[in-house]
Amino acid sequence: MDLLKLKESLENNVVGRATLWAASKLYGVGAWFDRASYENGWKRTQSVNSRVVCIGNITAGGTGKTTAVLLAATTLAQAGIRVAIVSRGYKRQQKTQGPVVLFDNPDVDWRCAGDEPFMMSRILSQYKVPVVIAPDRAAAATEALRRFKSQIVLLDDGLQHHRLRRDADIILVDAKNPFGNKQLLPYGILREPMTALKRASLIVLTHCDQVSARQIEDIKDEIRTFNDAVEIIESQHEPEYYFDICRTQKVDLTDIKGDAVCVSALGHPETFENSLVNLGLNLKQKWRFPDHHYYTEENLRTFEDTRAGLPLITTFKDFVKFPDNWREILTTDVYVLSVRLKILGGEKEMNLFTDALYPKFSKIKNG
């Protein structure tokens, strides 16, 4: 039984809910002590000779953090700024001594790096953005500076990591489900109390196209009870294209219509599935696996035997975890949906995003 199913099972009875509530209190004490250790000098923070910006969230999963990191990295790289991403490599299967560097290195696969960092490295390869993975994010940042002289380090999903000192915290909030029941894990979805919003340099609301304007204003009002000075900008996830992995080429979104099947292992698979429906697909089969699931040959044979010749659509995060011999099983009509984060509201809001990343950005952009 995976953790999500266990949680759902416990929520169905009084004793289970009490157990989750008690566990969330213990979790809260641990989270408080960890942060207090750094704030009070019981543990030492470490600085690096570069600007460090964290892109993270106070809830578990589903905010669109990876697309925000990709938008930040590509925007900076296109402006000629040397940028690196550091990550802990959540759920990587093969642990190594010291940082793992993804940068024109064909010998490193997702098992050493983790699925999301590996995916980011693949997407960002054209921009020459290194991704450095280590449980010690300070060591990863130091390696990025040593090897690449990075002007800015993006700390991927590091809001609850306090050892590496940063210059700004960009917090993402999912407009569809901003704070759940406002309880800490595992009783709720909060990684830390909502008072953590006080640390935000900028807040980005995601999935704003899926809620009403009134709901967005209510979320902003709630955020401002904790941080009345922070800028709050809106965003949505926008499909860009399909990528035909069998023929290694981009496919226009309008070229695939009608019946299809899909597979994903995401925190919130319904967001991915709804995007496909909105693009005009009729999903005859939807396979869902636990977040960060790694696929087996048996999984792929099930897809192939069941899809009845229909297009199979997945995500970049899922595709990088297909077994090495996937081509022997899935021979045709397999597509990855590429999605980007779009900042809403025009140039003003985009400038708020880039200024939080790199205050000198507007001067660089304007020459």
152: in domain: yes
Structure confidence at residue 354 (pLDDT): 96
Same domain, 58 and 90: yes
Sorted by sequence, the CB contacts under 8 Å of residue 81 that are 6+ apart come out as 151, 152, 358, 361, 364
Same domain, 94 and 222: yes
The average confidence (pLDDT) of the chain is 93
114: in domain: yes
Q: What is the mean pLDDT of residues 332-354?
A: 96
Determine contact, residues 227/221, Cβ cutoff 8 Å. Answer: no
* Residue 249 CA: distances (Å) to CA of 252, 302, 306, 317, 333: 10, 25, 25, 18, 12
46: in domain: no
Same domain, 242 and 232: no
The rounded distance, in Å, linking the Cα atoms of 288 and 29 is 34
Same domain, 7 and 64: no
Is 50 exceeded by the pLDDT of residue 148?
A: yes
Q: Which two tokens stand for residue 192?
A: 């830390």
Same domain, 221 and 257: no
Same domain, 170 and 206: yes
117: in domain: yes
Same domain, 56 and 192: yes
What tens digit of pLDDT does each residue of 75-99 get? 999 999 999 999 998 778 767 778 9
Most confident of 6-20, 81-95, 150-164: 150-164
Q: Which of 206, 344, 342, 336 is nearest to 268 (CA)?
A: 206
Is 50 exceeded by the pLDDT of residue 1?
A: no
Q: Which domain holds residue 179?
A: 51-237+342-365
Same domain, 113 and 217: yes
The residue type at 355: D
Is 90 exceeded by the pLDDT of residue 8?
A: no
The rounded distance, in Å, linking the Cα atoms of 67 and 156 is 11
Number of domains making up the chain: 3
Q: Which of 54, 48, 61 is nearest to 158 (CA)?
A: 54
What tens digit of pLDDT does each residue of 97-129 get? 789 999 977 677 778 888 889 889 989 999 999
Write the CATH number for 117.
3.40.50
What tens digit of pLDDT does each residue of 282-293 get? 999 999 999 889
Structure confidence at residue 367 (pLDDT): 59
56: in domain: yes
High-pLDDT (> 70) share of the chain, %: 96
Q: What is the mean pLDDT of residues 172-185?
A: 96
Structure confidence at residue 62 (pLDDT): 80
Same domain, 218 and 242: no
44: in domain: no
Same domain, 210 and 251: no
Q: Which two tokens stand for residue 83?
A: 């940028």
Same domain, 186 and 138: yes
Q: What is the mean pLDDT of residues 317-343?
A: 95
The residue ranking higher by pLDDT, 3 or 349, is: 349
Largest CA distance in the chain: 63
Determine contact, residues 265/293, Cβ cutoff 8 Å. Answer: yes
Structure confidence at residue 275 (pLDDT): 94
Same domain, 192 and 328: no
CA dihedral 41, 56, 192, 15 (to 10 degrees): -140
